Amino acid sequence: MRYIFIILLAVFASVASYADELQTAYQKEYAYLLAEKKALESRLADLTNRHQGLTTRISDELDGLEAQYLAKRNRVDRLNQLILDATRDVDFNESDQLLLETTLIQARDSLKKIGLEVDEAKEQDAQLQDALTAANSRIAKDGEVHREQGQFFGLTGEMVHGEVIRLGRIARWGVSEQFSGALAPAGNGMFKLWDGQSAQSATALADNLRPAVLDTFLYDNPEQAIEKQEEKSFDEDLEAGGLIGKVIIALGIVGVILALIRIVLLVMFGANIQKITNKVNELVASGSLKDALKVCKKNISSASRVIAATLRNLEKDRDHIEDIVSESILYESSRIDRFGSAILVIAAVSPLLGLLGTVTGMISTFDIITEFGTGDPKLLSTGISEALITTKFGLVVAIPLLLIGNLLTSWASRTKSDLERAALNMINTHKDAVVAS
C-alpha cells in the first residue's frame, strides 16, 4: 500500500512538474503569438496606408488621363468640323467655278449668235464682266426701232427692195412699192412677207404714225425659217386615217342614212295620233262606224291601223279585244323600232374601231422607229396620224349617232304609248254602245 502511495505521489509530482512546464510553454507561445499579432497588425496598417495612397494616386492619374482624353477628343471634333467646313468650302468653290464656266460658255454662245465675241484669253471674271456689258448694250439696242434699206421676199416669192423697220430682234416690217407688211424669218437671215393684212400697220410705221392696231409677227430666231401651217382638208385626214378611218366614215354615213330613214318612219307612223282619235270618236259616237273605218283606211299612220283593228272587234269580249290590240301594237312596234338597234350598234362600234386604228397606228410607228430610229419626225407622222385621226373619226361618228339614236328611241317609246292609249280610249268609250246596238 505504501508503495502504491509512493508511486502515486511520484506520478502526481511528475504530472505537476509537467503541468508547470506546459504552462510555461503556453505562456511563451501566447506571448509569441501576441507579438506576431502586433507585428501583423502593424504590417496590415502599413499595407492599408500604402494601398490607400496607391489608390489615390492611381485615381488621380485616371482623372488626369480622362481629362487629357476629353481634351484630345474635343480637339479631334474641332479638327473634323474644320475639315468638314473646308470640304464644304471646296465643294462650293468647285460648284461656283463650274457655274461660272457654264455661264461663260452660255454667254459666249448667246453673244456669238448675235455677232458679239468675248475674249477667252482674259480672266474668267473679266470675261464675265465683258459678257454682261455686251449683253446690256445689246438689250438696250434691241429696245430701239431702226430703219434701214433692205430686201425681203414678197407674197409671190420674189425678192423686193424697200425700207425695213426693225424692232430689236423680235419684229420687222417691210415697206416697198409692191408689198408691205409684217416680216417673218425665211431662213439664212432672210425675211419674207407674212401676209397682206398687216400692210396698213407697216405703212403707218413708215410714215411715223401710230396705228390703232399694230399687226406684227414676233419671232425668236431669225436664222430659222418659219412656214405657215395650213389646215388639213377632210380628204387629207381621210387619207391619213388609212383603211380603218375610211371604214369608220362609211359606217358614219350609213348611220346618218339610217337615222334619217328612221325619222321619216317615225313621222309617218306616229303623225296625228290625237287628231285621228278625236275624229274617229266623233264618227263612232254619231253611229257612223263604217265612216270611221274609212277614215282609218285613208290614213297610213300606225294609229289608224291600231284604231281600225280595235273598232272591228268592239263587239267581242274585252279580253279578246285587248289581245287583238296588243297584237296590232306589237306589229306596229316592229315598224316603229326599225333601224333603231342598227344605229346604236354603229355608235358603239365606231369608237372601238377608232381604238383599233390607234393600236395599228402605234404599231406602225414603232416599226418605223425600229427600222429608221427617231431622227426624222416626218417618218413617224404617218403612224401617229393614223393613231390620232382614227380615234377622232370614231368619236365624231359615235357621239352624234349615240345622241340621235337615244332620242329616236325615246320618240318611238312615246309613239307606242300613244297607240296603246288611243286603243284603250276606243274600247272604254265605245264598247258598251256598239254591243248594245
CA dist 216 and 182 (Å) reads: 5
Spatial CA neighbour of 430 closest among 287, 261, 268: 287
**CA–CA separation, 305 and 255 (whole Å):** 29
Tell me what the mean pLDDT of segment 153-178 comes to: 79
CA-only gyration radius of the chain, Å: 59
C-alpha cell recorded at residue 288: 257612223
> Which cell is 256 given?
346618218
User: Over 60: is that where the pLDDT of 435 sits?
Assistant: no
Do residues 239 and 381 touch, judged by C-beta distance below 8 A? no
Amino acid at 232: K
Residue that has been written with the C-alpha cell 372601238 in this structure: 352
Q: How many C-beta atoms lie closer than 10 Å to residue 429's C-beta?
A: 15
Domain ranges of the chain: 147-229, 239-436
Residue from 414, 278, 279, 253 nearest 346 by CA: 253
The C-alpha cell of 264 is what? 321619216
pLDDT exceeding 90 applies to what percent of the chain?
Answer: 5
SS (H, E, C) the chain: CHHHHHHHHHHHHHHHHHHHHHHHHHHHHHHHHHHHHHHHHHHHHHHHHHHHHHHHHHHHHHHHHHHHHHHHHHHHHHHHHHHHHHHHHHHHHHHHHHHHHHHHHHHHHHHHHCCCCCCCCCCHHHHHHHHHHHHHHHHHHHCCEEEEEEEEECCCCCEEEEEEEEECCCEEEEECCCCEEEEEEEECCEEEECCCCCHHHHHHHHCCCCCCCCCCCCCCCCCCCCCCCCCCCHHHHHHHCHHHHHHHHHHHHHHHHHHHHHHHHHHHHHCCHHHHHHHHHHHHHCCCHHHHHHHHHHCCCHHHHHHHHHHHCCCCCHHHHHHHHHHHHHHHHHHHCCCHHHHHHHHHHHHHHHHHHHHHHHHHHHHHHHHHCCCCHHHHHHHHHHHHHHHHHHHHHHHHHHHHHHHHHHHHHHHHHHHHHHHHHHHHHHHHHHHHC
Grid coordinates belonging to 297? 283606211
Does residue 379 carry a pLDDT above 60?
no
Q: Report whether pLDDT(429) > 60.
A: yes
- How far is residue 166's CA from residue 175's CA, in Å, rounded to a whole number? 11
Q: What is the mean pLDDT of residues 9-34?
A: 72
Taking the C-alpha atoms of residue 409 and residue 335, their distance in angstroms, rounded to an integer, is: 13
pLDDT digit string (tens) for 77-110? 888 888 888 888 777 777 777 777 787 777 777 7
pTM of the full structure? 0.49
Q: What's at 436, amino acid-wise? A: A
Cα–Cα distance for residue pair 196/210, rounded to 1 Å: 19
Which span out of 67-71, 290-294, 303-307, 370-374 was modeled with the highest average pLDDT?
67-71
Distance of CA 412 to the CA centre of its chain: 43
As given in the structure block, the three cell numbers for residue 307 are 284604231
Q: Which of 55-64, 265-274, 376-385 has the highest mean pLDDT?
A: 55-64
Output phi, psi for 203, to 5 deg.
-65, -40
Q: Give Cα 395 distance to the centre of its chain.
A: 21
**pLDDT at residue number 382:** 61
Helix axes 340-372, 242-270, angle to 10 degrees: 170
More confident residue, 323 or 431: 323
**296-347, pLDDT tens digit by residue?**
666 666 766 776 776 666 666 677 767 777 777 777 777 778 888 888 899 9
